[in-house]
């Protein structure tokens, strides 16, 4: 009678770990404020373009 062998997950099953730079940019208030204004400008372009 064959026994089922339980194995752990492969390394490929786990998501990649963020680097120090990635963590810094995610927490950076300056980058978040900048991206907020970029997003708002994109939305305004769509709105203004639709009202022409």
Task: Report the 3 state secondary structure along 18-41.
Answer: CCHHHHHHHHCHHHHHHHHHHHHH
Q: Is residue 4 part of a domain?
A: no
Instruction: Give the integer Cα–Cα distance in Å for 22 and 40.
Output: 23
- Token readout for 47 is 């709105």
Q: Is residue 3 part of a domain?
A: no
Domain range enclosing 40: 18-50
Instruction: Give the integer Cα–Cα distance in Å for 33 and 47.
Output: 21
Q: Is residue 1 part of a domain?
A: no
pLDDT value at 1 more than 70:
no
- Token readout for 36 is 């907020």
Q: Is residue 37 part of a domain?
A: yes
In this predicted model, what pLDDT tens digit does every residue of 16-50 receive, in sequence order? 899 999 999 999 999 999 999 999 999 999 999 88
Question: Which residue's entry shows tokens 């204004």?
Answer: 37
Q: Is residue 41 part of a domain?
A: yes
Q: What's the structural domain count of the chain? A: 1
Q: Is residue 12 part of a domain?
A: no
Q: Is residue 32 part of a domain?
A: yes
């Amino acid at each position: 009678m064959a026994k089922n062998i339980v194995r752990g997950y492969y390394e490929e099953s786990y998501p990649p770990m963020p680097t120090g730079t990635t963590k810094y940019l995610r927490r950076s208030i300056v980058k978040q404020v900048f991206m907020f204004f970029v997003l708002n400008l994109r939305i305004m372009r769509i709105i203004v373009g639709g009202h022409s």
